[in-house]
Amino acid sequence: MERAVNFYEKLLEMKVYKFDTIYSIFVIDNFRMGLFAFEKVNETHILGTNCVPSLSVPDLKSLKNKLSYQKICFPLKQINKNWVAEIEDSEGNRIELTAPVKN
């Protein structure tokens, strides 16, 4: 859990709201994002119809800065009016990062 919390504290530029070895919480714009250590409670981890969390940054420069120290799964690309990329977190989960295209 410490590795995941450290990863997200750096990515989100904020401290964890509640740290626990099984379930830690970040609060982002009044929404909870939980990190769950399923292996500590012997819960099966099943992939399938999972969603990819998406985080937005204010501009392309900020996005490129975030990408500079990450493992990139989907390279930076303009899709309509957004810049989009996907990274892999410290536990192998994918996260989408976006920024608006500014003219």
Distance CA 63, CA 82 (A): 11
Domain 47-103 = CATH 3.40.640.10: no
What does the pLDDT read at residue 47?
A: 66
* Type and span of the H or E element at 65: helix 60-67
- CATH for the 1-46 domain, from 3.40.50, 3.30.720, 1.10.3470, 2.40.50: 3.30.720
- Minimal CA–CA distance to 55: which of 83, 24, 36? 83
Could you give the percent of the chain with pLDDT greater than 90? 78
pLDDT over 70 at 37, yes or no: yes
pLDDT over 90 at 26, yes or no: yes
- Minimal CA–CA distance to 1: which of 16, 17, 21, 18? 21
pLDDT over 80 at 50, yes or no: no
What does the pLDDT read at residue 49?
A: 61
